[in-house]
């Protein structure tokens, strides 16, 4: 081919590429999700742990100080992230695997489904933990459904190779890649040979295997930072030290993933999001709707908004906001559809993209929980508005249930033993207070960050209590919550009023 003809062909190809992408590089999304991760990150002022890759991501993005999961349980949270709907609306009431067997409703239109229909290529690497498959389809998938979750969720060398394979595809569509680490989830219940947090998995010791890209970081228990809601005991400190090691593995994995993104030439066209699914697996953390169980790290790194890089945002964000945010990034309209009957589902979350332009006044976040394990039925609904958090414990006369994973942990076993022996627990509440809760719990988190003083019975906070109850009730009606009338009335949608009293003395 003559040089002039070759030049014309190249110009034509460039023109066609520009027309296909609207004159600019295609936008992409990388969602990085920790499993039971918390604020053990340098970017959130934890100076005891080394997380250089997350800290670098924070310097290249916006750091949210008030981000919350909508449910403090693994499968329900992941389903809420991938649908924009709370667990009581999407049907994922509890854990997905094994005997628990919860699934989202067949009519739910998830984020990967919506993206695929709009011409976006989708991929998932790591822990999926949601179903059914038809509701959560991915074009590229390496999860516990077809691989060892330890390999695709903790082996950062394997994760790196899979990310490279996804990014090297000749598919020219924009992409959504979801890397769901299994770290730092506890390991003591499922694979105790690797340690309480799988901190020995792949460390090169005899029988542990070897992860070539991982340089294990060992922490001394006396040097860790103990969160205010965790007992400050030698057992808990050793537990946290093991957790730090697995967070370090995830942090190094995140560095590898971002390196692959850079090598493939996508770093400057990709919105990178980092967060976690629920609170850390310690007493007061995961499975609770206290702030200690729902507050999450959230980093939003946009190559198009460098003015917000390294800034802290006090604006309230919810993981229910991630689906609207990602749809907005791709300029895809929000879905309006029906799961049951004729009533259309509307996303109640918001796009976080305006926060990348300027500070936002958002100050409210809702949460909803029904189960964790199938035996752990303890429905709760909560709202945090400004400094005040209101929790409605529907089955408050029952003891709060403890999951198997937490029960066998060194921290909880030590707490049990200390409580039985009448020894100091070095905890901010007793086991009895933890098990047995009031129907309404109201906390001023600005003055009482440990959420130890219930203000609901205090008449001085009567107006605040009624205001938050009204906000919570409206959200329940807006999201079609089947529990909206519980526990002292039954929902009868064809009657008026729809909440019919049970006269059950509650």
Tally of CB atoms within 10 A around 1: 8
How many Cβ atoms from other residues are within 10 Å of residue 4's Cβ? Answer: 8
Q: Is 74 designated active site?
A: yes
CA 373/CA 94 separation, integer angstroms = 6
Q: How many CB atoms lie within 10 A of CB 262?
A: 12
How far apart, in whole angstroms, are the C-alpha atoms of residue 32 and residue 34? 7
Torsion of CA 253, 254, 258, 260, to 10 degrees: 20
Of 304, 280, 287, residue with least CA distance to 353: 304
Instruction: Using DSSP, state whether 33 is helix, strand or coil.
Output: strand
CA torsion through residues 444, 448, 452, 453, sign? negative
Question: What is the Cα–Cα distance from 27 to 21, expressed in whole angstroms?
Answer: 9
Largest pairwise CA distance in the chain: 90
**Which residue is associated with the tokens 């680490």?**
181
Catalytic residue among 74, 187, 198, 445: 74
HEC readout, 180-214: ECCCCCCCCCCCHHHCCCCCCCCECCCCCCECCCC
d(CA 175, CA 123): 8
Q: How far apart are CA 281 and CA 268, in angstroms?
A: 35
Q: What's the rounded Cα separation, in Å, for the pair 340 and 106? A: 10
Token output for 115: 């993206």
Terminal Cα-to-Cα distance of the chain (whole angstroms): 85
- DSSP assignments along 270-324, one per residue: EEEEEEESS--SSTTSTT--SHHHHEEEEEEE-TT-GGGTT-EEEEEEEGGGHHH
Q: What residues are annotated to the active site?
A: 74
């Amino acid at each position: 081919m003559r040089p002039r003809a070759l030049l014309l062909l190249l110009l034509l190809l460039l023109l066609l590429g520009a027309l296909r992408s609207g004159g600019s590089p295609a936008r992409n999304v990388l969602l990085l999700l920790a499993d039971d991760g918390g604020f053990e990150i340098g970017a959130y002022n934890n100076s005891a742990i080394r997380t250089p890759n997350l800290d670098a991501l924070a310097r290249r993005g916006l750091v949210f100080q008030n981000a919350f999961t909508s449910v403090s349980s693994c499968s329900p949270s992941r389903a809420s992230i991938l649908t924009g709907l709370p667990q009581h609306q999407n049907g994922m009431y509890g854990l997905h695997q094994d005997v628990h067997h919860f699934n989202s409703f067949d009519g739910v239109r998830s984020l990967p489904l919506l993206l695929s229909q709009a011409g976006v290529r989708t991929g998932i690497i790591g822990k999926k933990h949601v179903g059914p498959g038809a509701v959560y389809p991915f074009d590229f998938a390496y999860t516990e459904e077809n691989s060892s979750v330890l390999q695709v969720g903790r082996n950062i060398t394997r994760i790196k190779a899979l990310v490279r394979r996804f990014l090297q595809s000749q598919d020219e569509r924009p992409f959504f890649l979801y890397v769901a680490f299994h770290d730092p989830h506890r390991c003591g219940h499922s694979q105790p040979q690797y340690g309480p947090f799988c901190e020995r998995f792949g460390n090169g010791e005899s029988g542990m295997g070897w992860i070539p890209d991982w340089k294990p970081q060992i922490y001394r228990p006396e040097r860790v930072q103990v969160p205010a809601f965790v007992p400050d005991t030698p057992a808990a400190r050793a537990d946290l030290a093991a957790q730090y090691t697995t967070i370090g593995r995830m942090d190094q994995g995140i560095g590898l993933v971002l390196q692959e993104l850079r090598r493939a030439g996508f770093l400057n066209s990709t919105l990178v999001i980092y967060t976690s699914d629920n609170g850390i697996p310690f007493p007061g953390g995961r499975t609770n709707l206290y702030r200690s169980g729902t507050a999450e790290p959230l980093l939003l790194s946009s190559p198009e908004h460098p003015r917000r890089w390294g800034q802290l945002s006090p604006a309230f964000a919810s993981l229910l906001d991630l689906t609207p945010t990602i749809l907005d990034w791709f300029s895809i309209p929000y879905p309006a559809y029906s799961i049951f009957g004729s009533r259309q589902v509307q996303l109640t979350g918001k796009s976080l993209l305006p926060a990348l332009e300027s500070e936002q006044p958002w100050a409210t976040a809702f949460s909803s929980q029904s189960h964790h394990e199938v035996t752990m039925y303890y429905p709760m609904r909560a709202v945090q508005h400004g400094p005040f958090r209101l929790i409605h414990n529907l089955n408050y006369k029952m003891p709060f249930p403890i999951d198997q994973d937490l029960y066998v942990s060194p921290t909880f076993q030590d707490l049990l033993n200390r409580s039985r022996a009448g020894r100091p627990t070095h905890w901010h509440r007793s086991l009895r207070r933890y098990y047995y809760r009031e129907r309404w719990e109201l906390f001023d988190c600005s003055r009482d960050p440990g959420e130890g003083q219930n203000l609901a019975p205090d008449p001085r906070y009567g107006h605040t209590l009624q205001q938050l109850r009204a906000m919570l009730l409206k959200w329940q009606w807006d999201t079609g919550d089947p529990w909206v009338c519980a526990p002292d009335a039954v929902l009868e949608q064809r009657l008026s009023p729809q909440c019919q009293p049970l006269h059950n003395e509650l």
